Structure 1
Amino acid sequence: MRNDEGGGLPLRKRSRHLDGVKEINPRDYDFIRKFMTEHGKIVPARLTGATAKQQREIKRIVRRLRVVGIVP
Structure 2
Amino acid sequence: MKRAPRKPTVIVHKTDTLDYKNLELLAKCIGPQGQILSRRRTGLTTKRQRELKQALKRARHLSLLPFVG
TM-score (norm 2): 0.70
Q: Which consecutive segments of 4 or more residues in structure 1 shift more than 6 A?
A: 7-12
Q: Which structure is higher in RCO with an 8 Å CA cutoff and minimum separation 6?
A: 2
Unaligned stretches of 5+ in structure 2?
Answer: none
User: Aligned equivalents of 2:17 and 2:34: distance in 1?
Assistant: 22
Query: % of aligned pairs identical?
Result: 26
RMSD: 2.5
TM-score by length of 1: 0.68
Q: 1:62 Cα deviation (Å)?
A: 0.5
Which entry has the higher C-alpha Rg, 1 or 2? 1
Change (3 A) 1:39 1:33: same
Unaligned runs of 5+ in 1: 1-6
Q: Report how far residue 38 of structure 1 moved.
A: 2.8
Matched with 2:39 is 45
Q: Find the counterpart in structure 1 of residue 15 from structure 2.
A: 21
| Per-residue CA distance 1:15-68 (angstroms, 9 max, x = gap) | 862224163232110111111113221111111111000100000010111111
Instruction: Tell me how many residue pairs correspond in the alignment.
Output: 66
> In 1, Cα distance between the equivalents of 2:53 and 2:8?
18
